[in-house]
Amino acid sequence: MEPDVSQTMLDNPLREGLSLERLPSPCAMVIFGASGDLTRRKLMPALYDLALEGLLPPGFSVIGYARSPKTNEEFRAEVRESIQQFARRTPIDEGLLSNFEQGVSYVSGDFSSPDDYARLNEELDRLDRERNTSGNRVYYLATPPSAYANIAHHLADHGMVHPLDDERWTRLIVEKPFGHDLQSARELNETLLKYFAEEQIYRIDHYLGKETVQNMLAFRFANGIFEPIWNRTFIDHVQITVAESIGIENRGGYYDQAGALRDMVQNHMLQLLSLVSMEPPPDFDAESVHDEKVKALRSIRPYQPEDVEACTVRGQYREGWVMGQPYPGYRDEARVDEASVTETYVALKLFIDNWRWAGVPFYLRTGKHLPRRVSEIAIQFHKAPHPPFESNVTQSLEPNVLAIRIQPDEGITLKTTAKVPGPSMRLRSVNMGFLYGTSFLVESPDAYERLLLDCMLGDSTLFPRRDGIEASWEPITQILEGWDASGKTELPGYPAGTWGPDEADEFMERDGRQWRQP
């Protein structure tokens, strides 16, 4: 029996009540690319944490599939080590971990060798027999994207993909990057759709698994007071910041081909944008949510080639210090071209051309090696139209800002103006706030826990749909083409540990605005 997928997101923003009702049916998961960092840092620890909460189905099994020869025991030892190092809940529950390990096995294979898929299939059959995994499968593509098409093809070729009407379900999780531009994203969608139905494809964007991101929907649509002012009449502009203190961390080969726009904006930041700007869906069915998000993304005003430079700022970190540590400049990182013009910082302005948002600029910025790790969405409202105070008092009046802090110190604050106690009318900004840490005494699950569980449950609400991916690549591809056409051989630099290039501040000043200092 297929579990109930009509579960709404609002039912359980805090995972309260995630009990039997949310238990997936028995299944096995195959992780392709199991020797990689993602498996070690995120997937195995998330599966263990799910096991700890009793959220994995009975007999749950996971097969690591990768090229390097390895025994089951060797792979289990690696898994154990990764869980000890990265699981959210410590100390490790030894009994539970040994139990979990019994469901872990390894198949060494090539992504294009039919014989190896046959061996994988035999292992899956064994799990069905011995651990009652019932023929249900999750295939997780944690490989370089160049292997995706091959894997999908071979799985289908070996009868390992069951059609939607089969009682055994098959689901495919696809990691980012999903394409390199609009054309390649479309091609990848078309390739995957030859072998899997759209309902079987789960394109992962881990930002959607973050509690604070899901809370956007609760905040906007479960409260009566915000939606009436969530529009151009009240909002001056919106800033979305995803600042990282880390650099590219041994990922030079990937990053130099990607850059901040593809790495962070096309996926995570445009997903945040769509949640802030979408219309209320009629219900929280996955399709209804996707429909509204896609409409918002499709309303982004196209960039004309000649406008791209004026609407964006690129930067590259130079040598500097972040939180007391010295770091080399980007071009000196391993596997980075020494004449690279890949951006490690990007800021951009966009407009959403619909009735709600006409004329309201959205400013997005992200960068590596900024002073600290902080992500937030800030909604800045118009200033009070006529404050009845002396002019010397009103000069310092600041606009109201609603800041939704995604990480760290998750919470929401509303900046308002208040009278300073005393005999004269002096005004100052103060914050009204809600912090997850103090309001809820439970720790938020890791994004991968939520997303892996949702996939096993067949709930795709938190996974971008095909048209959503393509809609988000459209403006990004226009920007990339504009940048290519500009033929720049140097990008503005910023010392590691600063808030990006000076050009980013000038960019805001030209609009009479400023970046917030989160």
Query: Torsions phi, psi of 478, nearest 5?
Result: -60, -40
Residues 6+ apart with CB under 8 A from 54: none
Q: How near is the Cβ of 136 to ligand BG6 at its closest, in Å?
A: 28
Q: How near is the Cβ of 432 to ligand BG6 at its closest, in Å?
A: 26
Q: Contacting ligand BG6 (CB under 6 A), which of 78, 175, 211, 244?
A: 244
Contact 211, 12 (CB under 8 A): no
CB of 263 or CB of 470, closer to ligand BG6: 263
Alpha-carbon span 300 to 298, nearest angstrom: 6
Q: Which of residues 29-58 bind ligand BG6 (CB under 6 A)?
A: none
CB of 176 or CB of 516, closer to ligand BG6: 176
Interaction between residue 263 and ligand BG6 (CB under 6 A):
yes
Q: Which of residues 175-194 bind ligand BG6 (CB under 6 A)?
A: 176
Q: How do strand 170-174 and strand 374-381 relate by DSSP bridges?
A: unpaired
Q: Which of 268, 290, 382, 386 is catalytic?
A: 268
Q: How near is the Cβ of 268 to ligand BG6 at its closest, in Å?
A: 6
Centre a 10 Å sphere on the Cβ of residue 171 and count the other Cβ atoms it contains: 22
Token pair, residue 153, equals 């093809």
Residue 327's H or E segment, with its range, is strand 325-327
Starting at the edge strand found earlier in the chain, the sheet holding 201-203 runs: 104-108, 61-66, 28-32, 137-141, 170-174, 201-203
Q: How near is the Cβ of 246 to ligand BG6 at its closest, in Å?
A: 6
Mark whether 180 is an active-site residue: no
Buried b / exposed e along 460-474 (16+ C-beta atoms within 10 A): bbbbbbbbbbbbbbb
- The residue sitting closest to ligand BG6, measured at its beta carbon, is 263
Binding residues with ligand BG6: total (CB under 6 A): 3
Q: How near is the Cβ of 263 to ligand BG6 at its closest, in Å?
A: 5
Residue 495's H or E segment, with its range, is strand 493-495
Token pair, residue 104, equals 């872990």
Residues labelled catalytic: 268
Residues that bind ligand BG6 (CB under 6 A): 176, 244, 263
